């Protein structure tokens, strides 16, 4: 069966029986709720990854995986990044971790002191805010603004909020949840600010291979030597290849200073990926390219369908254009819903979305509760059902 046919054949009853968080939280016990929230794709994983995981399980080959000994994984990752993104990653700059969130937390802690400022562009994937608050750092919020047709950075506002105690710029590239794939000139403006204010740039590029035709992912550290020497890039195979439960991520250090600090951490506080994560990532980056190509094509068709549907059936919702990621931001303020958007769609449409209020700090996010994030990485039929339910609920208000 082709990848597309496999995706088209997804059945709600099979998905609802899954153990993972996305389905089990809402769809257990025949609730009828369709989950379109957390960032897992509903799609079956790539055959080369299935084969390797099956082999490990069949042989009970699930023993220790000594952390630094990830074999040729750095080279395999480097080869894929060079081919796909024109990014040269020397193996000695890579350190492996369990997940990207660990990388975000650690980099904030290593790159700044208590009370120092960390720039975050809101609305933002909520753990960015958690990393700042959890480490006792000060949030330097820079809300994205709606330009003529898409979200944009507000460079004047950014210049006005970065002060002498600001240390880190947390960049989400591509950006979750706006769906933006930042352009070279936007990234150059960030680099300029970072250089001028001597900031460390923490570039979360976990969605770097989920970029749609017409857009190109630009790796922040490739902008030039001055950008690279202040950057730590976080990425992983888990988002593109749908392996979040296998837990492997990596940091690529451009900044020598941060790499030294990282290497001084006691070995066992770090938590290292296990054998399933390592072998799955190796199969993904080495042999998963064709599957990923077909997956991005499927997502691309879903995004066109979704955009057209929202334009026709949910007028008043501000959305798109989706340049990257399968996470779609719906600004429902124009609908005047009687309650927060995610609550409304859960109660009245039986669709679980992420609550927009979580994508900004509580004190400075007026109206974010009237926004919601929708995950469109499911079959066209299920996406259609999700959207029909949402439109019907809105029409009844």
Ligand X SMILES: Cc1ncc(COP(=O)(O)O)c(C=O)c1O
**Shortest reach from residue 32's CB to ligand X, in Å:** 25
Of 94-102, 150-158, 180-188, 308-316, the segment contacting ligand X by CB under 6 A is: 94-102
Contact 285, 250 (CB under 8 A): no
Quick one: DSSP state of residue 324? B
**Shortest reach from residue 194's CB to ligand X, in Å:** 19
Contact 261, 178 (CB under 8 A): no
375 part of the interface to ligand X, by CB under 6 A:
no
**Shortest reach from residue 249's CB to ligand X, in Å:** 4
Q: Helix, strand or coil for residue 298?
A: helix
The three state secondary structure string of 67-131 is CCCCCCHHHHHHHHHHHHHCCCCCHHHEEEECCHHHHHHHHHHHHCCCCCEEEECCCCCCHHHHH
Q: Which of 46, 89, 100, 371 binds ligand X (CB under 6 A)?
A: 100
Describe the chain by its helix, strand, coil percentages, rounded to 5.
45, 15, 40
284 part of the interface to ligand X, by CB under 6 A:
no
Which of residues 40 and 141 has its CB atom nearest to ligand X in the complex?
40
* Whole-number Å distance between alpha carbons of 289 and 241: 9
**Shortest reach from residue 98's CB to ligand X, in Å:** 8
Contact 95, 69 (CB under 8 A): no
**Cis peptide bond prior to 321, omega within 30° of 0:** yes
Which of residues 320 and 393 has its CB atom nearest to ligand X in the complex?
320
* Whole-number Å distance between alpha carbons of 295 and 330: 23
295 part of the interface to ligand X, by CB under 6 A:
no
**Shortest reach from residue 248's CB to ligand X, in Å:** 8
Site for ligand X in 169-188 (CB under 6 A): 172, 176
* Whole-number Å distance between alpha carbons of 121 and 194: 14
Q: Which residues contact 26 (CB under 8 A, 6 or more apart)?
A: 33, 34, 35, 37, 352
Q: Which of 244, 246, 258, 390 binds ligand X (CB under 6 A)?
A: 244
**Shortest reach from residue 244's CB to ligand X, in Å:** 5
Which of residues 143 and 350 has its CB atom nearest to ligand X in the complex?
143
Q: Which of 10, 12, 65, 101 binds ligand X (CB under 6 A)?
A: 101
Element (H, E) at 179: none
Question: What's the first-to-final CA gap in the chain, in angstroms?
Answer: 42
- For 144-243, strand residue ranges (E) read 145-146, 151-152, 166-172, 200-204, 231-235
39 part of the interface to ligand X, by CB under 6 A:
yes
Which is nearest to 211 in space by CA: 295, 306, 89, 99?
Answer: 295
Q: Which of 77, 125, 262, 298 binds ligand X (CB under 6 A)?
A: 125
Q: Which of 233, 238, 302, 375 binds ligand X (CB under 6 A)?
A: 238
Which of residues 206 and 390 has its CB atom nearest to ligand X in the complex?
206
**Shortest reach from residue 325's CB to ligand X, in Å:** 7
Site for ligand X in 191-210 (CB under 6 A): 204, 206
Q: Which of 46, 76, 168, 249 binds ligand X (CB under 6 A)?
A: 249
158 part of the interface to ligand X, by CB under 6 A:
no
**Shortest reach from residue 148's CB to ligand X, in Å:** 26
**Shortest reach from residue 330's CB to ligand X, in Å:** 17
Q: Which of 99, 112, 231, 375 binds ligand X (CB under 6 A)?
A: 99
Binding site for ligand X (CB under 6 A): 39, 99-101, 125, 172, 176, 204, 206, 236, 238, 244, 249
């Amino acid at each position: 069966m082709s990848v597309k046919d496999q995706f088209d054949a997804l059945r709600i009853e099979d998905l609802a029986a899954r153990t993972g968080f996305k389905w089990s939280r809402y769809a257990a016990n025949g609730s009828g709720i369709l989950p379109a929230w957390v960032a897992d794709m509903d799609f079956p994983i790539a055959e080369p990854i299935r084969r390797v995981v099956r082999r490990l399980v069949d042989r009970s080959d699930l023993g220790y995986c000594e952390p630094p000994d990830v074999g040729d994984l750095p080279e395999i990752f480097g080869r894929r990044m060079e081919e796909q993104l024109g990014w040269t990653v020397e193996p000695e700059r890579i350190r492996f971790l369990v997940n990207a969130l660990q990388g975000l937390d650690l980099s904030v802690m290593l790159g700044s002191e208590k009370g120092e400022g960390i720039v975050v562009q809101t609305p933002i994937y909520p753990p960015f805010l958690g990393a700042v608050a959890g480490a006792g750092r000060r949030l330097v919020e820079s809300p994205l603004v709606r330009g003529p047709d898409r979200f944009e950075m507000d460079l004047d506002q950014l210049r006005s909020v970065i002060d002498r105690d600001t240390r880190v710029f947390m960049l989400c590239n591509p950006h979750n949840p706006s769906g933006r794939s930042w352009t070279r000139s936007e990234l150059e403006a960030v680099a300029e600010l970072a250089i001028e204010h001597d900031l460390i740039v923490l570039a979360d590029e976990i969605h770097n291979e989920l970029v749609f035709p017409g857009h190109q992912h630009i790796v922040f550290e490739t902008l030039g030597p001055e950008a690279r020497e202040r950057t730590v890039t976080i990425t992983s195979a888990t988002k593109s290849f749908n392996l979040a439960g296998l837990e492997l991520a990596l940091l690529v250090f451009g900044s020598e200073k941060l790499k030294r600090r990282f290497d001084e951490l006691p070995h066992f506080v770090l938590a290292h990926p296990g054998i399933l994560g390592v072998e799955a990532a190796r199969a993904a980056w080495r042999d998963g390219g064709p599957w990923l190509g077909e997956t991005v094509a499927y997502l691309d068709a879903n995004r066109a369908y979704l955009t057209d549907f929202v334009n026709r059936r949910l007028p008043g919702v501000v959305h798109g254009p989706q340049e990257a990621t399968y996470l779609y931001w719906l600004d429902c303020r124009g609908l005047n819903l009687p309650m927060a958007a995610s609550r409304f769609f859960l109660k009245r449409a039986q669709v679980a979305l992420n609550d927009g209020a979580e994508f900004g700090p509580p004190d400075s996010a007026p109206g974010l509760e009237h926004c919601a994030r929708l995950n469109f990485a499911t079959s066209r039929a299920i996406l259609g059902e999700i959207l029909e339910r949402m439109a019907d609920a809105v029409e009844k208000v």
